[in-house]
Amino acid sequence: MLYDVIKLEMHVTHTCNLTCKYCSHYCDYGYHGDIDFDTGARWLSDWSQRVNPSRFSILGGEPLLHKDIKKYIIHVANCFPKAARDLTTNGLLLSKHEDILPLLIETGTLLRLSIHPLQTRKQVELVERALLLAHKWETKGLRLVTPEFSSWTAYYHGEGKNIYPAQNERPDIVYNACRQHECTNLHQGHLWMCPLIAYLPMIADKLNNKSAWEHYLSYRPLSIDCSDAELKQFFEGPHDYSFCAMCAMVEKDVPGIMPENICADIKNEYLQLLRNKDGELSSLKIENTKLKECVDNMPDLLSELQLTAGSLDGLIHWAGMNNINSHSIRPGELARWLHETRDDLERMTQQLAKLSAHTS
């Protein structure tokens, strides 16, 4: 039986060139290592005989650090041809991997640039260069999602070696509110419910309070030898929510520099929003708090786009009213907002098209 699932992801490397606090792969704990291609390819081939994901993400760590990343992109496309596939990168190395862009176009793999707080001006320059490059390739057919306005979530309490699980009393609620719960991870040849659970064992020995994590470290992933019934239960439930008790999911600020070119992201988010308004909206994410923060800091962009207070504030207000503080606006909700603000958006389309022509 080929089982339909929403999303599958594989972290092809544990190494990253950033150490963002609260990284869901725990890269801020400084462990390294790649999944060698032959091993990873075998896992992928095996699971392609069992599951049919609608989305497949290749990430890490930083996937562009993997020497065989191109082989992975091709293999994932062969294994999961029907999935919306993406390569998610922090962008720092993109300008050194220009040869990867034609491959993304050829295999129909979407490039997802995720913005993280950066530590140096040099890093900012690299990400800005990556954005420009990606936009250039977009005109040649690259499917691109520019940086999301990530809010940073601490899934546990404390910091560094002194983290401890939240011991949440309603893990079912935490699970349902959690953005990671659809991020089934292919790791060590098995399926894990989310990256936080999958990679926890890799940092366990570094934790001062390891005994508090005992239950969460006892998680048993799904093996490729599972029965069809076990596979169905893994995705459909009933779930064992007890592992989600570890998560506090508290929004946190992470120190660092956000690339100034992020104004281009707003432009692009709107362009995407407009392009997609009658079609697929699932890749679009706007965080209202971050959006407001960016907008407050960018009067120039606002005047350039001649956005009315109503159009943007409307979105922010609407998001607030709908209690969307830390979660992405969902496609259906966004579609409703689009419908309600169609006139403003029509006008903005024309302005953005002009702006786009001007900047390209």
- Using CB under 6 A, list all residues that contact ligand SF4: 16, 18-20, 23, 25, 27, 60-62, 90, 116, 155, 174-175, 178, 180-181, 193-194, 196-197, 243-244, 246-247
**Cβ distance to ligand SF4 smaller for residue 143 or 179:** 179
Q: What are phi and psi of 130, to 5 degrees?
A: -60, -40
Contact 146, 91 (CB under 8 A): no
In the complex, least distance from residue 128 CB atom to ligand SF4, rounded to whole angstroms: 16
Least distance from ligand SF4 to the Cβ atom of residue 223, Å: 19
Structure tokens at 240: 């064992």
Closer to ligand SF4 by Cβ: residue 231 or 245: 245
Q: How far is the CB of 215 from ligand SF4 (least distance, A)?
A: 11
Q: Is 246 helix (H, G, I), strand (E, B) or coil?
A: helix
Other CB atoms within 10 Å distance of the CB of residue 299: 9
Smaller CB distance to ligand SF4: residue 16 or 307? Answer: 16
Q: By C-beta, is 33 or 320 nearer to ligand SF4?
A: 33
CB 40 within 8 A of CB 10: yes
Are the beta carbons of 302 and 311 closer than 8 angstroms?
no
**In terms of CB distance, is 197 or 307 closer to ligand SF4?**
197
Burial class (CB in 10 A: 0-12, 13-18, 19+), 228: exposed
Least distance from C-beta 90 to ligand SF4, angstroms? 4
Q: Are 89 and 63 in contact (CB under 8 A)?
A: yes
Preceding omega of 238 cis (within 30 degrees of 0): yes
In whole angstroms, how close is the CB of 109 to ligand SF4 at the nearest point?
18
